Structure 1
Amino acid sequence: MSSTTALTDLGQALCIVTGASRGLGRTVAKHLARLIKPGSAIVLTARSGQDLRSLQTELTGGDGAGAGLVVECVEADLGHNDAPGRIVSAARRCFKADMDHVILVNNAGSVGDVSHFFRNFTNMAEVNSYLSFNVSSCLCLTAGVLDAFPQRDGLRRTVVNISSICALQPYPSWSLYCTGKAARNMMFKVLAKEEPDIRVLNYGPGPLDTDMLAYAKSHTADENLRMSFNDMCDKGQVLSCDQSCSVLMKLLLGDSYESGAHVDVYDV
């Protein structure tokens, strides 16, 4: 556990948000912009440069963002080997000596092919490609950020992994997604053990009204799971990105979670 008194802001921070072009990542960037002090910076990265630039304009246009906020966009595919290094380079350019907090939000990820069952994944290249984008890049980016901004007095470092209930429970026909999320959870638990000065959070955002859920409703091979997704939507049990992101910000400001723990939106 860390502090017992909730913070009112996240300091003069350098924030890095992956998968920031839409959905939860885009919303995380907006919420962070409201909670960081003037003189902070946000590095946005995703595959869609046009969407990133529109968010950049929104954040620097005064819509709740702190005065003097620097926002840099990195159009990058995290499945490519050079992507983590390009993002770290952008973060270095944005960092100023008087910043007191580095926040990395590992949000980027893909659901993978949920139209097939476990027995259908015989193509190793397909599996390797999925794991490279969803696991390997996440590890290398996080390691690169921590190496670029090492421990020193007066500097807080926070790493958030956007996780899922699928990291804890098996979902039929979601073998790639469940595997990737479980691997990331354990990866960050190891980080928390190795680096006790770093605040590490595996955050389960809950069922969100995003393109991923729309895809899952129509493409999931397991009929019972597909029906449960549709039923959940029909009953209004899906959260907006804003609702889930508000809980994440509450966790970051409260700073009382056990480092490395998996905290679900419904646990708060």
Structure 2
Amino acid sequence: MKIIITGTSSGIGKAIAEHYLRKGVPVVGIGRRHTINHANYQPVTCDLTDQNAIKELAVEEWISTEILLINNAGMLGTVKRLSDQDSPDINQVMALNVVAPALLMNKLARVCGDHSMALTVVNISSGAAKRAIPSWAAYCTSKAALEMLSETFYLEEQEKGRTTKVYCVAPGVVDTPMQAQIRSVDQADFAASATFHQYYENGELISPEMVAQKLDRLLAMPYSGMVSHSLRSVE
């Protein structure tokens, strides 16, 4: 098996990559920065907001008997009410959170189909996909779109008679740089700011390493065909 993960420089992506590297699984990391130094880690530098750069990735070089694609890279975008933003960055948020996963799913599905390789796709989602949070318009929209992309892709693979497994996983409230970004926003721009400060101060954030362990356990379970999952329910 070979694992392809986007956004491995920090947070959840780095923890997942290191988790599988410890298990002896080769990892391809895609992103702008790389902080992992391991013999089985292959860094692939790519700006995932650049569609042309993604299209030029030589995914054929990553051929293995089984591919696990984990679309982890994501961005929160500007935390501010939409009508208060001078120049909304929704295009950039959608490019990284939705378009990049779609392009990688397209490329890997085609290569895996051509070479009879098993494919599993994990898209890292959020509770914000199912719950509107004021000042997170772009992020909530992008994660809701990612959920529907995942569901649709799974049904399409079923129509083609393929055994592709697809997961769209909400990890919970995790101690990552994104959480630090959330806490840095003034309450005047983000009404729920105090809640996220409380998560941090009360020790309610889970570690990226715990997310990696729970994801590994989820993927080890028999596949039920259910796409949307919350890691909160995984023991």
Instruction: Give unpaired runs (5+ residues) of structure 2.
Output: none
Q: Please list the CA deviations of residues 71-129 of structure 1 after superposition, one character each: whole Å capped at 9, or x if unmatched.
A: 32111111112222243x0x32232xxx3211100001100001x202235746x3222
When residues 110 and 228 of structure 1 are mapped into structure 2, their CA distance, relative to the original with a 3 A threshold, is: same
Aligned to 1:113: 78
Paired residues, what number?
Answer: 228
Secondary structure at the aligned position of 2:184 is classed as: helix
CA distance in 2 between partners of 1:222 and 1:231 (Å)? 14
Tell me which amino acid in the other structure corresponds to 1:183: A
Q: 2:129 aligns with which of 143, 149, 167?
A: 167
When residues 165 and 21 of structure 1 are mapped into structure 2, their CA distance, relative to the original with a 3 A threshold, is: same
Instruction: Give 1:152 shift.
Output: 6.2
1:190 equivalent in alignment to 2:152: yes
Instruction: Give 1:33 shift.
Output: 2.2
1:222 equivalent in alignment to 2:200: no
| Percent identity of equivalent pairs | 27
Instruction: Give 1:29 shift.
Output: 0.8
Q: Please list the CA deviations of residues 8-46 of structure 1 after superposition, one character each: whole Å capped at 9, or x if unmatched.
A: xxxxx1211001111110111112223455xxx321111
Aligned to 1:240: 207
Residues 128, 143 of structure 2: 8 Å contact kept: yes
Give the 5 Å matches for 1:107-186: 107-114=72-79, 116-121=80-85, 123=87, 126-150=89-113, 155-186=117-148
Q: RMSD across aligned C-alpha pairs, in angstroms?
A: 1.9
Instruction: Give unpaired runs (5+ residues) of structure 1.
Output: 1-12, 61-68
Instruction: Give 1:143 shift.
Output: 0.5
When residues 165 and 237 of structure 1 are mapped into structure 2, their CA distance, relative to the original with a 3 A threshold, is: same
Q: TM-score, normalised by structure 1?
A: 0.79
Tell me which amino acid in the other structure corresponds to 2:165: R
When residues 121 and 190 of structure 1 are mapped into structure 2, their CA distance, relative to the original with a 3 A threshold, is: farther
Residues 158, 200 of structure 1: 8 Å contact kept: yes
Instruction: Give 1:139 shift.
Output: 0.7
When residues 16 and 204 of structure 1 are mapped into structure 2, their CA distance, relative to the original with a 3 A threshold, is: same
